[in-house]
Structure 1
């Protein structure tokens, strides 16, 4: 028992508070469920139809809800009880999966039922993810946000990106209903765990600033545009994801044609990227004690630019795997740092809307970039998207470099909350 307590203390220190521990456990359970669905959903559709449009639609439903509902998710999390939003959205996911599981075991499943379920799951996930990001700064002291976010994103990498899809494929091979039964159990566990979270009272906008829905959304955009650090983050997410999306949209084709890899080989180099992110979770605390947040972000710009260059020139799977390993570490550090900066800079009552604006910037860049990937291959060859990404990233580094001085954000617009269940210091 003592060993278990020491492990828990090392992973989630008591100073983060019991509320954050419950939230983290819920996040890990639901991220594993989401990772399973990433593999099991398309596999189920492909087992029901060979129509490529329907199979592609299943993949589209993974990211389209963020663009369609991201702003509304942010607005609701700023207006309503955030804990209740997470509970309701997770309950919707449990119910949708329960219906799909019932259809599977009674052999009444169809493509429309599966696609509708995937759409509901992805839409509810938008509300859960956006709102969960606003809960951490309500539960954790400002000075501990970096380590708290590192623990949350460690679960995203290990469970959602690394273990979840592999487990989903294995469970699907054992039986079509198994991954969705597992999903239901995990989401129900996440629902129960987050119900244990007790939130402190939060600061709200003054009564004189009350607006209609459109006015509230406009106020979020206005705040994000006027704040130098947040504006820089949103612009960087938009433009760097255009270059990233162009290259990564054809990564599977690049791995086959340029590196000579089959499906297993592609899976291994993808795993290398996740492994790099996992390593970064261990060293992130050490890094933030020695390098400023702005410095981490600037280094990330260089790493991402050189990643595209390295993949453009190499033909070695081993070199590509090493490059992707380093990129995975950068991606984790970048994501954790960007989230921490937003949580420190944005007032509690604006965090839902600003999170959604950042998310739309990131997903919008990915959509534009993915649309460019295929034409660039046709025009410039298989490495064309990577040369485009390298040139575009290098240009963006030059343009945005000075702006990253804004990211050394020190002002604290909201009082540091006292974590539930922990002593004050």
Structure 2
């Protein structure tokens, strides 16, 4: 990663710190939550249910959250999201202390936290251009994602399992504190450019939110390149969640490692993710966004196949590290692509539609992973993921060529609503 320079605007450092703080707590909570669920039951489907509940809001909440992003004061709402997550994680701590945190409670908390996150992450992506300044979007997104990944996977995940051994409520109390720190940092950022565009103003009603959400989904679907990217990344997410939903049982019963070692295994897997985040700007500058996306998908099938066939912990972790790298490459490039191609006034609702597909398939992936593991064993989800992503790789090679991405800026569909027409008239030049 290149050394930090003054080219980023005021507030970028605080946004980076807030993202890293909340990421640390998320990593701590996610690892501890998986282990907690596995201590309550050995039923693969019940464990996968907790993971599925954490993904379901992307389908039923996420799209509508995007419309709100285009209407609200983005920085203030991001702060409110952190405060809300403090309250939810604090409630989980109380449930654990009173011995009332069963599988159902874990699933409900996962659902609530992700419901808030659907809005918070959309807001976070929407405000990045506000603090990018003269820097590139690829570099800004890479550094943000890199900080979040290090704090979440390298620090939070191993600490989560270690703290769980000290006491069940401890890692979740740390998560609560992390959101409080993030809230303070976000609250300190004041940018006039963070406020919604005038075209997004107006009376906020359920009908308006639904209509604007539909506008965003239609805009996305009529954009050929973004539509293809959305479907392929959705397939990647489906496959990854199918595996992650039973990963803790796979680690304990197939790789035969301890609960504490499971946290270390997550850290090894994150090495690939960090490499992908750090290398994304360099790879993109060297071979372009199209080839980088094709490379990301091509990295996935063989590692999943290896992990599905081996019983060696280090071999499985080493193979899946390449999947982590692929996910990071795809995330950085596709985020920058959306920020470049989608008009700022429409970003929230279009991004909401994109994430509706990409993250909305996650609950199905969790169900598929649990069902496959229950029917055919804990290796089956890995083999399924390898086959699905082999098909996605072929599609990426055919549909995401450099020529297709070069022409993507001219492929912006004409909006159908009066509000969207006004947005198009004030559309900013494409960022590079």
Q: Which residue, out of 18, 33, 40, partners 1:26? A: 18
Q: How much has 1:398 moved relative to structure 2? A: 2.6
In the TM superposition, what are the counterparts of 1:337-416 in structure 2 within 5 Å? 337-376=333-372, 383-405=379-401, 406-408=404-406, 411=409, 414-415=428-429
Q: Which residue, out of 82, 87, 110, partners 2:100? A: 110
Q: Which residue, out of 68, 91, 104, partners 1:76? A: 68
Distance (whole Å) between structure 1 residues aligned to residue 155 and residue 341 of structure 2: 33
1:140 aligns with 2:116: no
CA-based RMSD of the aligned residues comes to: 3.5
- Distance of aligned partners of 1:291 and 1:203 in 2 relative to their CA distance in 1, 3 Å threshold: farther
Q: Partner residue of 2:199?
A: 205
Q: Partner residue of 2:329?
A: 333
Q: How much has 1:351 moved relative to structure 2? A: 1.7
Q: Which segment is superposed worse, 29-38 or 289-298?
A: 29-38
Q: Which segment is superposed worse, 272-281 or 164-173?
A: 164-173
Q: Partner residue of 2:7?
A: 15
Distance (whole Å) between structure 2 residues aligned to residue 124 and residue 304 of structure 1: 30
Q: Which residue, out of 276, 279, 284, partners 2:272? A: 276
CA deviation map 1:125-167 (0-9, x unaligned):
2221121111102321485111111111112321223321322
List alignment gaps of at least 5 residues for structure 1. Answer: 1-8, 418-425
User: Counterpart of 1:138 in 2: which secondary structure?
Assistant: helix
Distance (whole Å) between structure 2 residues aligned to residue 118 and residue 253 of structure 1: 19
Distance (whole Å) between structure 2 residues aligned to residue 301 and residue 238 of structure 1: 12
CA deviation map 1:98-146 (0-9, x unaligned):
4555677xx5463389555554433222221121111102321485111
Q: Report how many aligned residue pairs link the two structures.
A: 405
1:189 aligns with 2:203: no
CA deviation map 1:147-206 (0-9, x unaligned):
111111112321223321322333343344443443333222211111222234354538
User: Counterpart of 2:88 in 1: which secondary structure?
Assistant: helix
In the TM superposition, what are the counterparts of 1:112-131 in structure 2 within 5 Å? 115=106, 117-131=109-123
List alignment gaps of at least 5 residues for structure 2. Answer: 411-426
- Work out whether residues 16 and 144 of structure 2, in 8 Å CA contact, stay in contact via their aligned partners in 1: yes
Distance (whole Å) between structure 2 residues aligned to residue 44 and residue 245 of structure 1: 18
- Distance of aligned partners of 1:271 and 1:41 in 2 relative to their CA distance in 1, 3 Å threshold: closer
Q: How much has 1:258 moved relative to structure 2? A: 5.5
CA deviation map 1:343-380 (0-9, x unaligned):
11111122222222222222333333333335545766
User: Counterpart of 1:13 in 2: which secondary structure?
Assistant: coil
- Work out whether residues 67 and 348 of structure 2, in 8 Å CA contact, stay in contact via their aligned partners in 1: yes
CA deviation map 1:195-236 (0-9, x unaligned):
22223435453889x982222111001110011221111111
Q: Which segment is superposed worse, 307-316 or 267-276?
A: 307-316
Q: Partner residue of 1:231?
A: 227
User: Counterpart of 2:188 in 1: which secondary structure?
Assistant: coil
Q: How much has 1:252 moved relative to structure 2? A: 4.5
Distance (whole Å) between structure 2 residues aligned to residue 376 and residue 54 of structure 1: 13
Distance (whole Å) between structure 2 residues aligned to residue 42 and residue 316 of structure 1: 21
- Work out whether residues 273 and 321 of structure 1, in 8 Å CA contact, stay in contact via their aligned partners in 2: yes
Q: How much has 1:341 moved relative to structure 2? A: 0.9
Q: How much has 1:241 moved relative to structure 2? A: 3.1
Q: TM-score, normalised by structure 2?
A: 0.80
Distance (whole Å) between structure 2 residues aligned to residue 160 and residue 299 of structure 1: 25
- Work out whether residues 45 and 111 of structure 1, in 8 Å CA contact, stay in contact via their aligned partners in 2: no
- Distance of aligned partners of 1:103 and 1:269 in 2 relative to their CA distance in 1, 3 Å threshold: closer
Distance (whole Å) between structure 2 residues aligned to residue 156 and residue 217 of structure 1: 28
Q: Which residue, out of 297, 307, 311, partners 1:311? A: 307
Distance (whole Å) between structure 2 residues aligned to residue 194 and residue 140 of structure 1: 16
- Distance of aligned partners of 1:313 and 1:185 in 2 relative to their CA distance in 1, 3 Å threshold: closer
- Distance of aligned partners of 1:267 and 1:283 in 2 relative to their CA distance in 1, 3 Å threshold: same
- Work out whether residues 233 and 358 of structure 1, in 8 Å CA contact, stay in contact via their aligned partners in 2: no
